[in-house]
Amino acid sequence: MNDHAPLTRRTLFTIGGAATGAVLLAACTPGGAQDSGGSGDGGSGGSGLAQVSLASIPVGGAVSATLAGKPIVVSQPTAGHVVAFSAVCTHAGCTVAPQGKEFDCPCHGSRFDAATGDVLNGPASDPLPKLKAEVSGDSVTVTA
């Protein structure tokens, strides 16, 4: 009466791999970056500029935001000095995340310097593209 094939190890592995892949892909999408739609880190979503509160960027750290719908990272290496970069890893296009004084890629382990965008650890070989960041009062404006 059982019309279904038994689950084999191969079937279970395939199902498990598909589920894991979906989780990894979700982590690599621009949706992983926070935008100004109510999140604390800030950054306007669909326009050609992003606004981030200077107070939201820790000195020696960084925050995620979006610029024209694409993920970016904005860091403050020293008090009042702010830099911004594309958050798209130059190796395989995953979204990097701020981790203290660096940006880490969850896909293949590339690490980038948060102050310069330079590669600290591959497999990425190219730095993150730099964006223009200007501080005005308590706000940071980022443009391409």
Mean pLDDT in residue range 8-35:
36
What is the rounded average pLDDT for all residues in the chain? 75
Domain ranges of the chain: 30-143
- The percent of residues in the chain predicted with pLDDT above 90, rounded, is 52
Q: What pTM does this model have?
A: 0.67
Domain 30-143, CATH homologous superfamily name and number:
Rieske [2Fe-2S] iron-sulphur domain (2.102.10.10)
- Is the predicted pLDDT of residue 87 greater than 50, yes or no? yes
Confidence of residue 141 (pLDDT cuts 50, 70, 90): confident
Q: What is the pLDDT of residues 92-119, one digit of tens each?
A: 989 999 999 999 999 999 999 999 999 9
- Is the predicted pLDDT of residue 48 greater than 50, yes or no? yes
For residue 47, the model assigns a pLDDT of 62
Let me know: does 101 contact 115? Beta carbons within 8 Å: yes
For residue 21, the model assigns a pLDDT of 35
- Calculate the CA dihedral of residues 139, 67, 90, 63 and round it to 10 degrees: 40
